[in-house]
Amino acid sequence: MERLVAEIKASYRPKLKVIEWRGDRLSLLDQRLLPFEVRYLELKTVDGVADAIRNMAVRGAPAIGITAAYGMALAVKERPLEGLEQALEALRIAKEKLAKTRPTAQNLFWALDRMYKRAEAAVQNGEAKNVKDLADILGSEANKVFDEEFESEIRMGLYGVQLLQPGDVVLTQCNAGSLATGALGTATAPIYVAKHLGIDVSVIAPETRPWQQGARLTAFELRENGVKVKVIADTAVGLVISRRMVNLAIVGADRILADGTVFNKIGTLNEAVLAHEFGVPFYVAAPASTFDLVHRPEEVKIEERNPDEVRTVRTVNGNVYITMRDIDVYNPVFDATPPKYITAIITEKGIITQPLDRNIRRLLSGPQNT
């Protein structure tokens, strides 16, 4: 496996950079404009990063975590600070601000904790002698978060590809691809690794109302990367599964609990229940940083977004209303899939099979299963 990890890492040439750290600022591909326009945001402040996450210029749990990590690095760069105590205070404020941007993605909270703890340790053990040292340490730590995510995705891809046969059609949901992570993606990692190994697989992408991540982002990135993809309306998922037009489903996750409950984009639960009913294997792909072994399902906040996302559709000319401007709307953007509907979870440490509640703890705390 190590040889393939190194080989894939060395040969990776992304067509579009999603997240790029430039030392004094963060360059982010603005995903709100895709697939029609490629434009970058150049962010130098914590507020700018928080807005980009909240308004979904960057989205997808791992990409949110990586972006927030760079946001923490900017917290000690964006204005002159008098000393290390003031820098730690700026980091506490930044952490609080960034944590309020989106509530469901576990990677966000994981990355913020990691960055703050790294800063605290560097101050306590004398590694950071001044604010400049601390800023350099945090820049490197955020780079590490990004690089480790990339490597995890290659490993997920190498485990996940073992579940694929040549000619398979994979159903996904939302965008859990390179646009959601800055690298190979989670759900797409096995697909990109299959492509690298010359195994021909194709994808069916539900459009994913209301934000249309499937139609706008998954379709765009797969086509850019030479993977055959077909978009369907979300309402076609039942037919596609019941007629066995897909061999398996692979989706990403925003948070996975110790009992195996998976929080992911709204519509995932529908897919999982239908896949279970019709005997189609249903896989979730996610790195260890997406697992939350602390909370129970009822304690996880499901984000509700602006009702206008449902009242309108996004078009190249902006949003167009498809219903009354003042109609009452409910717009939850994630759902919770109970473990019984999940065949297995693909992680960088190996594939977690049923019973998920026992095997999640076992794999996440144990050595790698290669």
Q: Please give the Cα distance from 291 to 111 (Å, whole number).
A: 12
Please choose, out of 128-136, 173-181, 222-230, 316-324, the segment that lies near ligand MRU by the rule CB under 6 A. 173-181
Query: Is 326 assigned a catalytic role?
Result: no
Please choose, out of 9-17, 174-182, 236-244, 324-332, the segment that lies near ligand MRU by the rule CB under 6 A. 174-182
Q: Does 101 bind ligand MRU (CB under 6 A)?
A: no
What tokens appear for 206 in the block? 């539900």
- The residues, ordered by sequence, that sit 6+ positions from 278 with a Cβ below 8 Å of its Cβ are 241, 242, 244
Of 19, 43, 57, 62, the residue at the interface with ligand MRU (CB under 6 A) is 62
Q: Does 218 bind ligand MRU (CB under 6 A)?
A: no
Please choose, out of 13-21, 43-51, 60-68, 141-149, the segment that lies near ligand MRU by the rule CB under 6 A. 60-68
Cα 212–Cα 216–Cα 221 angle in degrees, nearest 5: 135
Sign of CA dihedral 221, 224, 228, 232: positive
Buried b (16+ CB within 10 A) or exposed e, 282-305: bbbbbbebbbbeeeeeeebeebeb
Site for ligand MRU in 295-334 (CB under 6 A): 333
Widest CA span in the chain = 65
Residue where the block lists tokens 């190194």: 6
Q: Please provide residue 230's backbone torsions phi and psi, each rounded to the nearest 5 degrees.
A: -125, 135
Please choose, out of 56-64, 82-90, 161-169, 347-355, the segment that lies near ligand MRU by the rule CB under 6 A. 56-64
Active site residue: 168, 234, 254, 292, which one? 254
Question: Is the separation of the CB atoms in 322 and 313 below 8 Å?
Answer: yes
State the alpha helices, DSSP H only, in 42-83: 46-54, 61-75
Binding flags for ligand MRU, 11-50, as an x/- string (CB under 6 A): ----------------------------------------
Measured from each CB, the residue nearest to ligand MRU is 252
Of 61, 88, 194, 269, the residue at the interface with ligand MRU (CB under 6 A) is 61
Q: Please give the Cα distance from 139 to 70 (Å, whole number).
A: 7
Of 152, 181, 261, 337, the residue at the interface with ligand MRU (CB under 6 A) is 181
Q: Does 212 bind ligand MRU (CB under 6 A)?
A: no
* Residues paired with 332 in a beta bridge: 304
Q: Does 106 bind ligand MRU (CB under 6 A)?
A: no
Exposure of 80 by Cβ count < 10 A (0-12 exposed, 13-18 middle, 19+ buried)? exposed
Give the total of residues touching ligand MRU (CB under 6 A): 18
Q: Does 59 bind ligand MRU (CB under 6 A)?
A: yes
- Which amino acids are annotated catalytic? 254
State the residues that interact with ligand MRU by CB under 6 A.
59-62, 105, 174, 176, 180-181, 185-186, 213, 252-254, 264-265, 333
